[in-house]
Each structure stands twice: as structure tokens, then as C-alpha cells.
Amino acid sequence: MRSKVYFYKNLDELKSGTNKFIEMISKELGEDNIGLKIHFGEGNNDTHIDPELLKDVTKYFNNPKFVECNVLYKGTRTRKSDHIETAKKHGFGFLEIDILDGELGEEAVEVPINTPNTKFAKLGKGLEKYGKLIALTHFKGHGMSGFGGAIKNVGMGLGSRGGKLDMHSSLSPQVNRQTCIACKVCIENCPADAIKLVENKAGVNQDKCIGCAMCIAVCPTGAISSVPHESKRLMEKVVEYTLAATKNKEWWYINFLTNITYLCDCKGGKQKPFMKDIGILMSKDPVAIDKASIDLVIKYNEGNEPFENKHGVEGSYILDYAEELGLGTQDYELIEIE
Ligand code: SF4
Ligand code: SF4
């Protein structure tokens, strides 16, 4: 059966479009005990979802909460206390912020799913409190998965520290010494201090590496890569974690196709969007909404898929695998709303 994906494209009235979607969802979910899964952006990132678009959410829900888990790497969202501080600095302090996996990502619940790579998904423990959730996702590029959409936001985002380690353990970046120009950009951007110059070429300490793929994304010469099967394995695990996070819960998804950048919001500091804004999508199906999102990016980018060349990763694999595991369908109907 085709899934419905709703599309709002009046860029001058994005807040009104967001409110329309939230109102539609509130009629399905009711008003109470709603978790809003969001990514607040790493320190000084300013291309994350604009918090102003979400300010009316309390008109539709009673005491909704932003929910999120800590990240693996050293940064402004590694500890719960810093994470909340960063969220507030980025303008999200108007709602309660519930970091689900404790101060350092140590509080986990194991959800049995019995999928090819994951028997038990280790999710942020606090997720147990929520039965009804909305994934608010900034759709953009991603070094590990080509692009990052709703599936990535939920699956990777809700992993506890142990869960994120499980997913990232699939990646071990390799440096091509022929094309490395020793510019040190990877060293400056590695959140785990896992890279140093060895005989004037970058070298990765695999014991320290947490598999975040930031080095792959930022290298100007494409000298760092992962082997394709590693990226695929990581995408499979993200899908499996999404299955676990959505199990026995009611989820809706809103994707913001605004400030579309090559890299994800985990990259601290400023990034420049490479194309014009497109609008906002809403669906009950995470696969359909991500498929519609990448289709629209291609359409508005003169027919070109922008992320595959940039990151050397075939992002569509995550959709194929998610469909195979029954998370949703890529067969969707796009419904424009005014
Ligand atoms: S960013 Fe790329 S070119 Fe620069 S030092 Fe690292 S691997 Fe070498
Ligand atoms: S993937 Fe690259 S940037 Fe990330 S921790 Fe490993 S070496 Fe550092």
C-alpha cells in the first residue's frame, strides 16, 4: 500500500506549515505524553531546525518534551548537562528537555529485535516513558550514510552510548597515502583525537576511532574512506535500531528540507547550505518520508543526487534495507497542502 507524504512548500510561511502538520498529528496522537525527538545541533551549528518554527507546539500538546540522547564523541552534547545548555543556547529552551540516557549515555534499555546485525538494541532508557513521539528531522547530507533523514534521527539518535558504539563499530576509516596532502583538516575535526600525521601523512588510530566518519566528510581530497560494506553495515544497524525505537510505539515524522548542507548538524560551527530550501514534509512512514525527501532534493538540485559523490556512499541503501525489514515503504503519494 502507498504511504501518504504531505508536502508544504510555502517558504515564506514555514511556521504556519509546521503548525498545520502538528495540528494534524495531534488529532491522531491526542494531547498528552508526547516526546519530540530532535537534534539540537553541535555547538555553534546554526543550520539545525529553526526553533522558532516549533514555538507553537504547546497550543496542540500538553507539556510536550524534547527528547534526545547524548553523543559518543567529545563535544558540547557528550554530557547531559552540557547537552541541555547547548540546546538552550540554540533556542530550544522553551520546552522541557529530556535527555534519555543519563549524564554520560550510560542509562540504557535493551530492546529485543532479533535482526541480522542486532539482537538487542541499546536505547536511551528514558524512551520507555513515551508511547507517542514525533521525529523532527533536519534533512541533510551525512558522511556515513550519504544523507541523514528520519531513520537516522531516530535509529542513531536514540541509541545510548553502548548502542551508538555498536552502530559505529562498523566503520574503520582508511587513509590513501597517495592522495593525502597533510592539510590536517581531518585532525582538526576528529572528535576522538584519533588522527595524527605519521611521516607527513594522516594516520588513524583505530583503537581510539569511534567511527563517526567526520574525517571522511571533511577531507578535501577524498583521501579518507571506509570500505563500502562497512557503510552498508552501519546503515543496516541504524535501520535495526529504528525498528527497536519504534516498536510498540506510535510515531509520526516531520522532515525539514531547509538549510540543506553536505554535512550533518553534528559538525560544530557554521556550514553553508548548497541549495535552496524546499519545504517541510510529514508522514507516518519513516521510509516514505525519507524517500520523498531525497527525491525532492534531487528534483530541486537539477536532477542530481548531491550526497553520493560528496561522501562516496550510496544513501539509498538505507531505504532499501528499511523496506526489506518492514519499517515502511518507498512507494509514496506526495500530497501538497496549502
Ligand atoms: S584531511 Fe585528508 S588530505 Fe588532509 S591530512 Fe587528513 S587525510 Fe590528509
Ligand atoms: S571516523 Fe575519523 S573523525 Fe571519526 S573518530 Fe574515527 S578517525 Fe576521528
> Which residue type occupies 203?
G
Least confident of 5-19, 36-50, 98-112, 221-235: 221-235
Residue closest via CA to ligand 1's atom 2 equals 219
- Cα–ligand 2 centroid distance for 196 (angstroms): 11
DSSP string, 271-321: ---SS---EEEEES-HHHHHHHHHHHHHHHTTT--HHHHHHT--THHHHHH
Least confident of 84-93, 210-219, 237-246, 274-283: 210-219
- Whether residue 203 contacts residue 215, with contact meaning beta carbons closer than 8 Å, is answered with no
**Distance (Å, rounded) from C-alpha 129 to C-alpha 143?**
32
> Which pLDDT score, from 0 to 100, does residue 182 have?
97
On the question of pLDDT at 235 being above 90, the answer is yes
Pocket of ligand 2 (CB under 6 A): 173, 190, 192, 194-195, 204, 209-215
> Which pLDDT score, from 0 to 100, does residue 325 have?
98
- Whether residue 34 contacts residue 132, with contact meaning beta carbons closer than 8 Å, is answered with yes
> Which pLDDT score, from 0 to 100, does residue 93 have?
98
On the question of pLDDT at 267 being above 80, the answer is yes
- Cα–ligand 1 centroid distance for 173 (angstroms): 12
> Which pLDDT score, from 0 to 100, does residue 50 have?
97
3-class DSSP state for residue 83? helix
**Does the reported pTM lie above 0.85?**
yes
3-class DSSP state for residue 269? coil
313-332 per-position pLDDT tens digit: 899 999 999 999 999 999 99
> Which pLDDT score, from 0 to 100, does residue 250 have?
98
- Cα–ligand 2 centroid distance for 308 (angstroms): 19
> Which pLDDT score, from 0 to 100, does residue 239 have?
98
80-96 per-position pLDDT tens digit: 999 999 999 999 999 99
Torsion of CA 146, 274, 193, 223, to 10 degrees: 70
Select from 107, 78, 102, 77 the least CA-distant residue to 92: 77
**Distance (Å, rounded) from C-alpha 152 to C-alpha 129?**
21
Class of domain 174-225: alpha beta
124-178 per-position pLDDT tens digit: 999 999 999 999 999 999 988 999 999 999 999 999 988 988 898 877 888 999 9
Q: What is the DSSP letter of 140?
A: E
**Distance (Å, rounded) from C-alpha 100 to C-alpha 88?**
17
Residue closest via CA to ligand 1's atom 8 equals 180
- Whether residue 221 contacts residue 179, with contact meaning beta carbons closer than 8 Å, is answered with yes
Instruction: Retrieve residue 73's grid coordinates.
Output: 564523541
On the question of pLDDT at 211 being above 90, the answer is no
> Which pLDDT score, from 0 to 100, does residue 225 have?
83
Select from 249, 283, 304, 314 the least CA-distant residue to 137: 283
> Which pLDDT score, from 0 to 100, does residue 277 have?
98
**Distance (Å, rounded) from C-alpha 116 to C-alpha 240?**
8
pLDDT confidence bin for 179, thresholds 50/70/90 = very high
Domain ranges of the chain: 3-169+229-336, 174-225
From 177, 184, 199, give the residue whose CB has the most ligand 1 atoms within 8 Å, as the site to mutate: 184
Which residues, in sequence order, are CB contacts of 71 under 8 Å at separation 6+?
42, 77, 78, 105, 164, 266
Class of domain 3-169+229-336: alpha beta
From 210, 263, 313, give the residue whose CB has the most ligand 2 atoms within 8 Å, as the site to mutate: 210
The enclosing H or E element of 244 equals: helix 228-246
Residue where the block lists cell 546485525: 117
Residue closest via CA to ligand 2's atom 8 equals 190
- Whether residue 219 contacts residue 201, with contact meaning beta carbons closer than 8 Å, is answered with no
